[in-house]
Structure 1
């Protein structure tokens, strides 16, 4: 099956605004992804880190909550969550949120061209339950508070004081994704009746002012949509999700990823991945666990999402059986990795380095089931590019 508008994604260093890719063939109809063999073959037995991977892939531990990051003097934060990579010369930087309340924030680890840690530091502190977020083309990380009337904080992985961005709305923020073509930022809301938003900055490259809009559509799982202004982005006394009667409700918005006129986001309440063609003004399902056949759906507890240069989507599980699953451009879904012995945790923060041959992610509560037990990993191997 060929999805109508599944476009090759790119997660190359956001400093180069690398959201490039190629169109897949158009098809008359789209269909949610179905079970099938993965592009890298079956998962092998668990390695020394308890991770099952396909042949040719290896894992390593990068950092552990409450412990000093190897090669630095910086203590890694608890409950690592959403993350992203930024190109830094021949190396890169990985940022990660801390989903605790109070005392959340975000940290950064810098790597050289060979993937060796150079340094680590805090880029945000004193905030609340920083869950996911998103990178901008101007090398900042948007760290989102997953609390009622939470803020988006713009942080600076290359140096600089973080800034609160109230114009982006006050609600239970989850993830963000930048669209340099339309010069907007897409935002998800982690409520059972959450909405899907976009923020239109007054000036692209500055998030200090602008217009918050919400997606409006019917109750169907596919169709056309429009955008409407949210009258009061401050969300008080009326929540932003309740201000526009025609806005479409989504059950627990989570991860968000943009590439080439398409934005994908996940909803954990119904285990779906939504695909929005922002150029055509249409939306549809890229994945729905209730529509998968044959056999048992491989992907449940959908959460953070990222994309590869080839066009594969990598969706992390919050629950399920602790997998990162891959959805290919030909609509096949399969496990890419599985973490054993950490059933009380969730997988967070998947992000590729600029070359696309290293995938960073975390187990938020690790083997202990506590926010103090988080583990951040890197998987290296022959990813499709």
Structure 2
């Protein structure tokens, strides 16, 4: 949760009328299935979306006709494990394959030290007992019945996003770089932790320190090489960096990342700030990777460290990160010159091709972007099994999950109907953690506040 593109648009007086995005929009879907996954929904019918959203009589989630939802878990309810209550601030999430057709959902809780409903501490799964963030895990059967729900990681801070690994675990990211003694913490924070939702004690509460200490947002793993790409979400200057981690034991399975490796930051020669690049299709052929001097940021945050006379490349609000085809994609949600960026923009999507060391700006948003377009601070993004994207909106007013087709058409998939404000001044929690079941038949998504996890089923195209 942070300042949004809507806020930037309002402060600069930019128009909110008319959808405007440019670039190779189809690039967003590289690597998505052209056909239906085994056991998944029918192929795409050619029409965008599923029709208008129908108001939910229970006031929770509006969906198109023919779709239905099930509430899997809600903040404040008892955890089925008996370890306490379901924590709040539901954020990033993934769905992993379980045995005998079961699904493991692992879910972040973006709690700070002052959170009233934090993740319960559990012996063997707690890093810093003062911290209130972490992860919980749900085990579901083939009909989305909850079989188990328990703490998977506790004592971490501000767990925002992350990403799945090829060996069926979740890497959860702390979006803070608070050190021990700050906010009462007893240990340094700003790390990535590995979580095995099927057996959390197998991964425990061990920070992957070699992967760096900084305000992490998301990761993506190259399934061929095992290299992990990482985004740093920094709203104020100095802005974040884009990293890659070269593990000593690539693709070694659960626990292999603990063996260490080398953390590097991306340098685009001659480009100290990615916001100056405004034209989609602009590419840089000789991207460099520079070793991080002190990955633990013992004295100086990484983004302020000395990377030599050539410097390093920064970008404001680096958030989403995912692997598609043979490339990694990452998102800069917006940039504002008032905040110190070299130029303004309203959202960028970048593609890095490791085999060519080439970086390309593939999509740019705004400034006349429609407020309904999923450039309104797209927080969590996932590739849909039968093609296209699902995007969680994080802004003001009504909150949606939007779908984007390969043809660039935008449609509303879900709307949060739970008013946490008043009738006169309604307010709705953001969506987060959108992901699909391994068979493609269910979309799982979180409402951040009050923390709620939904399973959505229906006539998927």
User: Normalization by structure 2: what TM-score?
Assistant: 0.70
Name 2:232's counterpart in structure 1: 189
Alignment partners' CA distance in 1, 2:460 and 2:31 = 14
Alignment partners' CA distance in 2, 1:379 and 1:240 = 40
The question of 1:123 aligning with 2:200 is answered no
Alignment partners' CA distance in 2, 1:336 and 1:299 = 15
CA 230–131 in structure 1, closer or farther in 2 if over 3 Å, else same: same
Q: CA deviation at 1:123?
A: 0.9
Q: CA deviation at 1:248?
A: 2.5
Counting strand residues as a fraction of each chain, which structure ranks higher?
A: 1
The question of 1:304 aligning with 2:383 is answered no
Name 1:383's counterpart in structure 2: 460
What's the RMSD between the two structures over aligned residues?
2.5
Name 1:237's counterpart in structure 2: 299
Alignment partners' CA distance in 2, 1:283 and 1:361 = 30
SS at match of 2:147: strand
Q: Which digits, 9 at most, give the CA deviation of each residue in 1:97-139, with x for residues without a partner?
A: 1111231110100011222111111110111111111111112
Contact 1:38 1:326 in 2 (8 A): no
Counting helix residues as a fraction of each chain, which structure ranks higher?
A: 2
Name 2:400's counterpart in structure 1: 323
SS at match of 1:290: coil
Name 1:179's counterpart in structure 2: 222
Alignment partners' CA distance in 2, 1:54 and 1:109 = 26
SS at match of 2:303: helix
Alignment partners' CA distance in 2, 1:2 and 1:103 = 39
The question of 1:155 aligning with 2:195 is answered yes
Alignment partners' CA distance in 2, 1:72 and 1:380 = 26
Q: Which digits, 9 at most, give the CA deviation of each residue in 1:269-313, with x for residues without a partner?
A: 3452513142442221435142647x8635402211111122312
Alignment partners' CA distance in 2, 1:44 and 1:357 = 19
CA 297–80 in structure 1, closer or farther in 2 if over 3 Å, else same: closer
Alignment partners' CA distance in 2, 1:170 and 1:72 = 32
- Structure 1 unaligned runs (5+)? 11-17, 19-36, 367-373
Contact 2:162 2:170 in 1 (8 A): yes
Report the number of matched residues.
Answer: 350
Alignment partners' CA distance in 1, 2:437 and 2:82 = 23
Contact 1:169 1:212 in 2 (8 A): yes
Alignment partners' CA distance in 1, 2:387 and 2:262 = 31
Q: Which digits, 9 at most, give the CA deviation of each residue in 1:352-383, with x for residues without a partner?
A: 110112111111113xxxxxxx1111111233
Alignment partners' CA distance in 2, 1:172 and 1:322 = 25
Alignment of 1:191-210 (within 5 A): 191-192=234-235, 193-204=239-250, 205=252, 206-208=256-258, 209-210=260-261
Alignment partners' CA distance in 1, 2:433 and 2:26 = 26
CA 310–282 in structure 1, closer or farther in 2 if over 3 Å, else same: farther
Alignment partners' CA distance in 1, 2:372 and 2:209 = 43
Alignment partners' CA distance in 1, 2:208 and 2:136 = 19
Select which of 60, 66, 72 maps to 2:70. 60
The question of 1:92 aligning with 2:92 is answered no
Name 1:15's counterpart in structure 2: none
Name 1:223's counterpart in structure 2: 283
Select which of 9, 16, 26 maps to 1:3. 26
Contact 1:5 1:277 in 2 (8 A): no
Contact 1:38 1:336 in 2 (8 A): no
